[in-house]
DNA sequence: CCTTTATGGATGTATAATGTCCATAATAAA
DNA sequence: TTTATTATGGACATTATACATCCATAAAGG
């Protein structure tokens, strides 16, 4: 289980965009050469980011990409979910639903009896999903802007001084 | 990015083992039929768990598997790391190391100058690894025994009453 | 000795990740 | 309007993992 390389590239591309963010459009070639990947590959990633409203794209001469909203409202979680998808990290197959009786929580059959007990009370799921939520809350709290804010001042070349 | 099914099966198998844990050995056939998977498949998983010291195995008649240590000292994290491996969730390729200058932390070149700045100060890594640590600390805090403790009492059939 | 049981190598299949190519459409600039 | 520029999305090829099975072997108990 690992994050895909595409996720890393998406993050790096967005940091680059946020960097030169004064309403300017950045072309795919500048982005891809900056990241050291091919433009055909990166364009797929950018296209996904556009479909999910993270960036805007414009065609034609002097076109390119820009952030669709301020960098402090683009969290790492947003980006990761676009690339990795939104399924849960842990999903049990129904084929697996020969589950241990032990896996059901203590308070049971008193409150609900119409649904699958699996989906709400399973303790295995509770732990695995709880772990995922921990990670997500951390990722939600860190934005693209956070990276810019904590970066070495010497590295910030553009600023706003033309 | 998802946990593999093998991870889920490993967890379920261990819960089953912990369930009938009075020093008895549980055969692969009982385990696999309980989980609804083939024995040849599950045996690979059990073998990994044995190599990492999570379970013990004994061959021969009336052989099988047992937990190698009490269930309260087998955390979800232990199990996951055996099956998924111990690499970090996020790793940047060196090919990618055309990294943004922005990605390096503010306090820099004052304390260290001998290593790759990437490996210690990169802010992208800091966020991604921080997120992983959040998840891991949660998984480390939840053990197989925790599941047994919080399960419905009615579901616990064996107990110790023969 | 013979049955039971786990082990690990070899192998095959399915699915997902990665990466490229090209035809097309949209747009700005000349 | 024409042309150069740029993103788009489908099709495709290529790995890399995950999933799954089979079989020969070894170890242990009866
Ligand atoms: S015990 Fe929980 S995780 Fe396992 S199959 Fe049942 S519902 Fe899914
Ligand atoms: S900026 Fe950080 S994550 Fe990106 S390539 Fe450099 S070290 Fe790796």
- Give the closest-approach CA distance of B56 to chain A in angstroms: 21
The CATH number for B60's domain is: 1.10.10.10
DSSP B59-89: -STT-EEEESS-GGG-BHHHHHHHHH-SS-S
For residue B24, the model assigns a pLDDT of 85
**Is the domain of A84 the same as that of A20?**
no
Taking the CA of residue B12 as reference, the ligand 1 atom at the shortest distance is 4
**Is the domain of A7 the same as that of A25?**
yes
Question: Is it the case that residue B79 has pLDDT exceeding 90?
Answer: yes
Chain A residues lying within 8 Å of B141, measured CB to CB? none
**Is the domain of A92 the same as that of A66?**
no
Q: What is the mean pLDDT of residues A109-118?
A: 38
CB burial readout B113-148, b (16+ within 10 A) else e? eeeebbeebbbbbbbbeebbebbbebbeebbbbbbb
**Is the domain of B64 the same as that of B16?**
yes
Closest CA to B11 of A79, A124, A116, A149: A124
Q: What percent of chain A has pLDDT over 70?
A: 75
| CA separation, residue B122 to residues A10, A14, A98 (Å) | 16, 16, 45
For residue A101, the model assigns a pLDDT of 56
For residue B96, the model assigns a pLDDT of 52
Question: Is it the case that residue B21 has pLDDT exceeding 90?
Answer: no
Q: What is the mean pLDDT of residues A102-111?
A: 49
Q: Estimate in Å the CA A25 to C1' C11 gap, whole number.
A: 52
For chain B, how many structural domains are there in total? 2
Q: What is the mean pLDDT of residues A82-92?
A: 95
**Is the domain of B103 the same as that of B148?**
no
For residue B109, the model assigns a pLDDT of 41
Q: What is the mean pLDDT of residues B20-37?
A: 89
Ligand 1 atom 8, closest CA: A92
Question: Which residue has tokens 């919080």?
Answer: B150
pLDDT band at residue B158 using 50, 70 and 90 as cut-offs: very low
**Is the domain of B66 the same as that of B117?**
no
pLDDT band at residue B20 using 50, 70 and 90 as cut-offs: confident
Chain B residues lying within 8 Å of A15, measured CB to CB? 100, 102-103, 124
**Is the domain of A39 the same as that of A99?**
no
Protein-covered nucleotides of chain C (CB closer than 7 Å) are 3-9, 17-22, 25-29
**Is the domain of A125 the same as that of A150?**
no
pLDDT band at residue A143 using 50, 70 and 90 as cut-offs: very high
Q: Report the separation in Å between the CA atom of A89 and the middle of ligand 2, taken as the mean of its atom positions.
A: 24
Averaged pLDDT score across all residues of chain B:
83
Q: What is the mean pLDDT of residues B26-51?
A: 95
A2 touches chain B (CB under 8 A): yes
**Is the domain of B116 the same as that of B69?**
no
Q: What percent of chain B has pLDDT over 90?
A: 67
Averaged pLDDT score across all residues of chain A:
83
Domain containing A158 equals 1-74+143-162
Q: What is the mean pLDDT of residues A10-15?
A: 95
Which of A1-10, A111-120, A122-131, B62-71 has the weakest average pLDDT? A111-120
Q: Select the more confidently predicted residue: B5 or A105.
A: B5
**Is the domain of B89 the same as that of B111?**
yes
What is this structure's pTM? 0.87
Q: Which residues pair with A67 in a beta bridge?
A: A55
Q: For A27-45, how does the pLDDT look when each residue is reduced to its tens digit (9 = 90+)?
A: 999 999 999 999 999 999 9
For residue B97, the model assigns a pLDDT of 54
For residue A23, the model assigns a pLDDT of 73
For residue A2, the model assigns a pLDDT of 96
Question: Is it the case that residue A160 has pLDDT exceeding 90?
Answer: no
The answer to whether the CB of A105 is under 6 A from ligand 1 is no
Nearest-angstrom CA–CA distance, B128 and B133: 9
pLDDT band at residue A102 using 50, 70 and 90 as cut-offs: low
Cα A60 to chain centroid, rounded:
28
Q: For B95-139, how does the pLDDT look when each residue is reduced to its tens digit (9 = 90+)?
A: 455 555 555 554 444 433 333 344 457 899 999 999 999 999 999
**Is the domain of A127 the same as that of A151?**
no
**Is the domain of A30 the same as that of A88?**
no
For residue B105, the model assigns a pLDDT of 56
For residue B5, the model assigns a pLDDT of 95
């Amino acid at each position: 289980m690992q994050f895909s390389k595409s996720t890393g590239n998406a993050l790096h591309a967005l940091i680059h965009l946020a960097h030169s963010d004064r309403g300017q459009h950045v072309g795919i070639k500048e982005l891809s050469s900056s990241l050291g990947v091919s433009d055909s590959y990166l364009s797929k990633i950018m296209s996904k980011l556009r479909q999910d409203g993270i960036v805007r794209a414009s065609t034609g001469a002097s076109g390119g990409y820009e952030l669709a909203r301020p960098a402090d409202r683009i969290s790492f979680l947003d980006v990761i979910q676009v690339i990795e998808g939104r399924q849960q990290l842990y999903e049990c197959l129904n084929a697996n639903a020969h589950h241990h009786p032990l896996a059901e929580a203590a308070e049971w059959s008193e409150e609900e009896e119409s649904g699958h007990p699996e989906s709400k009370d399973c303790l295995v799921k509770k732990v695995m999903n709880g772990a995922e939520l921990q990670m997500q809350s951390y990722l939600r709290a860190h934005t693209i802007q956070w990276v810019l804010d904590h970066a070495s001042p010497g590295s910030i070349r553009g600023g706003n001084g033309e």
